[in-house]
Each structure stands twice: as structure tokens, then as C-alpha cells.
């Protein structure tokens, strides 16, 4: 059954990745690459708290908002034409860019953020209450990606990812109330992940906090 779920999950991802080319109307959470790193580098050079790692995560969006507010632009956290020109002093590239699974990643991140504050319910799989793996499975399902139900099953999906190579949409796993992968969340970038925890419900936490850092056991990429 586990192998069947793995195959179905990979087939679903391949189908979704059919349309991988879009126009860069705005850079946003989930985007990656050298152009994002250039944006981040310029922000960092202006004194904003962001790292030029090429991964447009929540911290980058907050830095963009701060830049926009200080320059009389709409603080939406998106780097569109006006923000790009004000920040980099040149026109935004208008050629088609390949984003691949980044579109799916952005959709997963956007969906996951809608449920911040939803209470933790053991065995919960819906917006009325989630447990950790139920939350991850529900969010990915909204993007058409099928995952197994339990955290320990999700741990065997996709491929392992080193901590230094994490990108938005990766699954991050922790050993909490029992040995092995007993808790799972969705990586958001900038060292943050979103999860359904028993103490706070759906919330954003730091992968490097004293608690989560101590029980982190690895990550998987399913897209």
C-alpha cells in the first residue's frame, strides 16, 4: 500500500508540472533562483534583514514590504515592475521564466497560511481541526498532490534533502513524542516552517529554535 501511495504521489506531481513556463509579472514567496538572489542582495545592501540565498520566503516578503512602505509603494510583499525598478534601478525582465514546481510550492504556502490558528485535534484532517500529518496532507491535496496519512509514511515520499538545501514546500520531520518521524511540517523558507502542533495549533515556527532544532531529523522533497 505504501508503494502504491508513493507511485500515485509522484504521478500526480508529474502531471502538475506539465505547464512550467510563466511570465514574471511579480516575484513572490516560493520563487527561487539567481534573480531572487539579486533582489535579496539589493535588499540586504540597503540594510534589510534578509539573506541572499535565492529562496523567496516569508522574511524576504517582509523585507520587500518594508522597502515598499519606505518608498511609497503598495506594501504587498510582491516584487512587481514598480518595486523591481525602484529596488534595482532597471526594468523587470519580461521574458518567460521557467518556474517548474515553484507554482505548486507557492500554492501550497498560500493555502497553508490560510489555516494559521486552526486548533490541534488528534486525528484531525479538516479545517475544523488538524493534527500534524493531517494538516500537511490536506494542504498538499489542495494543490493536487496526494500524500499518505501518517507522518512516518510521508517521511518515505520523494527524496531526502540536506538542511542547507531546503526550499519552500519541502517537508520537514521531527522526532517528538515517539522515536522516528512522529511530527511533520511544511518548510516556508528563511528557516521557518508551518505545522499543526499540539500546543499552538497551526502556527509558524523556526526550524532552529531550541525545541524544534533539537528534535529535527530531516527533510523530504516530494516535488
DSSP per-residue codes, 72-136: TS--SS-B-HHHHHHHHSSPPP-SEEE-TTHHHHHHHHHHHHTTTTPPB-TT-EETTEE-HHHHH
Residue 197 pairs in a beta bridge with 201
132 noted as active-site residue? yes
d(CA 72, CA 68): 6
Neighbours of 113 (CB within 10 A): 16
Unique residue bearing C-alpha cell 515553484: 102
Q: What is the mean pLDDT of the chain?
A: 85
Select which of 71, 132, 192, 215 is catalytic. Answer: 132
Candidate list 102, 105, 183, 192, residue with the active-site label: 183
Catalytic residue among 102, 105, 192, 195: 195
159-190 per-position pLDDT tens digit: 999 999 999 899 999 999 888 999 999 999 88
Give tens-digit pLDDT for 44-55.
999 999 988 887
**What mean pLDDT do residues 187-194 have?**
94
This prediction's pTM? 0.60
**148's grid cell:** 499518505
195 catalytic? Reply is: yes
pLDDT of residue 150: 97
Task: Give the other-Cβ count within 10 Å of 72's Cβ.
Answer: 9
Look at residues 78, 49, 44, 81 and name the one whose alpha carbon lies nearest to residue 64.
78
The per-residue pLDDT for range 69-97, each reduced to its tens digit, is 999 999 999 899 999 999 999 988 765 44
Amino acid at each position: 500500500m505504501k508503494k502504491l501511495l508513493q507511485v500515485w504521489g509522484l504521478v500526480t506531481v508529474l502531471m502538475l508540472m506539465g505547464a512550467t513556463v510563466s511570465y514574471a509579472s511579480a516575484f513572490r514567496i516560493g520563487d527561487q533562483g539567481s534573480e531572487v538572489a539579486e533582489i535579496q542582495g539589493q535588499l540586504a545592501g540597503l540594510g534589510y534583514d534578509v539573506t541572499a540565498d535565492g529562496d523567496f520566503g516569508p522574511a524576504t516578503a517582509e523585507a520587500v514590504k518594508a522597502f515598499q512602505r519606505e518608498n511609497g509603494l503598495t506594501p504587498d510583499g510582491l516584487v512587481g515592475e514598480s518595486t523591481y525598478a525602484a529596488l534595482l534601478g532597471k526594468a523587470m525582465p519580461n521574458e518567460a521564466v521557467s518556474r517548474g514546481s515553484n507554482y505548486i510550492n507557492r500554492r501550497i504556502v498560500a493555502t497553508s497560511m490560510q489555516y494559521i490558528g486552526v486548533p490541534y485535534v488528534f486525528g484531525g484532517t479538516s479545517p475544523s481541526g488538524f493534527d500534524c500529518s493531517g494538516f500537511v496532507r490536506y494542504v498538499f491535496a489542495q494543490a493536487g498532490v496526494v500524500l499518505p496519512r501518517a507522518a512516518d509514511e510521508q517521511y518515505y515520499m520523494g527524496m531526502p534533502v540536506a538542511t542547507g538545501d531546503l526550499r519552500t514546500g519541502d517537508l520537514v520531520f521531527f522526532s517528538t513524542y515517539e522515536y522516528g518521524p512522529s511530527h511533520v511540517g511544511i518548510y516556508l523558507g528563511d528557516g521557518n516552517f508551518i505545522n499543526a502542533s499540539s500546543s499552538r495549533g497551526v502556527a509558524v515556527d523556526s526550524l532552529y529554535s531550541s525545541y524544534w532544532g533539537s528534535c529535527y531529523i530531516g527533510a523530504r522533497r516530494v516535488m
